[in-house]
Amino acid sequence: MAKRTSGRQRKSLWSQSGPTPRLLFGAFAIAAVGLLGLTPKTLFGLSIAWPYAALWGAVGWGRVGLSLRPMLLLIVFGLIQDISFNAPFGCFVIVNLVVYGFSAWIASMFDVMNEPLVAVVAPVLQFISGFLVLWLLASALEDHAVRATPLLAALLTTGVIYAMSHRLFDLGRTPGQQVGQAT
């Protein structure tokens, strides 16, 4: 027979951790996925759409409002993406920061981030805006409209994986807490 506690449930290590360990763990996850993305991405001869992992941080970390540490990490990840994709310096930095700012703006508008409509629609709109900015930048730099199919495949991959792992990028803003106080 299992022992009963005095009616209290134990809190998980994740719920007890503050924003800094959560930020570092999310950054580690982004870096790990990014490093894996540098390897060949084929499975049985089919090309796999690799997620843009930095956008997970931009969407999730922006939910607590604007803060310097997440912005610095997104700038670093953006510069690394620029180098690995042979993009002009600053392209992915712009995409990451636009999505981060959009996420922070939505968080400041809605105090209840776990409301189903806000929790589902907001990240979808943020990912779409990020990939739209990316497509616009790429098209402007190439002087013609670039193919959208690879970006749509990466958008779907990025969104689906974020939906399954969004808690990793939650820095712990509680309802009623002022935006920007968690970090």
Residues 92 and 8: their CA atoms lie apart, in Å, by: 46
Residue 43: pLDDT over 80: no
Domain range summary for the chain, segments of one domain joined by +: 18-35+52-169
Alpha helices in 51-148 (DSSP H): 54-61, 68-84, 91-109, 116-142
Each residue's pLDDT tens digit, 80-127: 999 998 889 999 999 999 999 999 998 888 766 667 777 888 999 999
Residue 46: strand, helix, or coil: strand
Residue 164: pLDDT over 70: yes
Residue 6: pLDDT over 70: no
Residues 148 and 130: their CA atoms lie apart, in Å, by: 13
Residue 173's nearest CA partner among 58, 65, 98, 29 is 65
Q: Are 103 and 125 in contact (CB under 8 A)?
A: no
